[in-house]
């Protein structure tokens, strides 16, 4: 992947460090981030996806094997995460992180031509 945006490259390198170069997740996630023209969106989605990956790893789940119950668990987990100044994440930040994860799955399913699989975040409340 040449000439990929900065945050897409950072995310790819981070994921290769975890899953290795033969796993499809690093390239898939980098491609997903790179499709957003705004560096601010790329940075936000990079940060959100890293948090999501850390959550999945602590539960022994590869992000590409996530099920709806795990997506709901991630939403609940976000209510325990603290942000700046050790304050809980705002509802806006939590919604943004859930939306980021959801768009990753939409991207993946679209690329593989899978229009029947259900996005694990489809029925997760964004509050």
pLDDT per position as a tens digit, 56-78: 999 999 999 999 999 999 999 99
Residue 17 lies in a domain: yes
In the predicted model, is pLDDT for residue 88 greater than 70?
yes
The proportion of the chain whose per-residue pLDDT surpasses 70, expressed as a percent, equals: 98
- Which pTM does this prediction carry? 0.91
Residue 20 lies in a domain: yes
Residue 127 lies in a domain: no
pLDDT tier, 126 (very low <50, low <70, confident <90, very high otherwise)? confident
Range of the domain at 66: 6-111
Residue 119 lies in a domain: no
Residue 118 lies in a domain: no
Q: How many other CB atoms are there within 10 angstroms of residue 122's CB atom?
A: 11
Residue 25 lies in a domain: yes
In the predicted model, is pLDDT for residue 2 greater than 70?
no
Residue 123 lies in a domain: no
Say how many domains are in the chain: 1
């Amino acid at each position: 992947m040449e000439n990929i945006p900065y945050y897409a490259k950072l995310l790819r390198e981070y994921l290769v460090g975890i899953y290795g170069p033969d796993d499809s997740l690093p390239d898939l996630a980098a491609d997903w981030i790179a499709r957003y023209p705004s560096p601010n969106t790329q940075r936000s989605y990079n940060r959100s996806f890293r948090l999501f990956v850390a959550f999945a790893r602590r539960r022994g789940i590869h992000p590409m094997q996530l099920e709806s119950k795990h997506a709901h668990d991630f939403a609940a987990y976000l209510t325990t995460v603290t942000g700046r100044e050790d304050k809980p994440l705002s509802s806006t930040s939590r919604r943004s992180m859930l939306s980021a994860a959801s768009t990753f799955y939409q991207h993946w399913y679209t690329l593989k031509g899978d229009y029947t699989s259900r996005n694990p975040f489809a029925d997760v409340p964004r509050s």
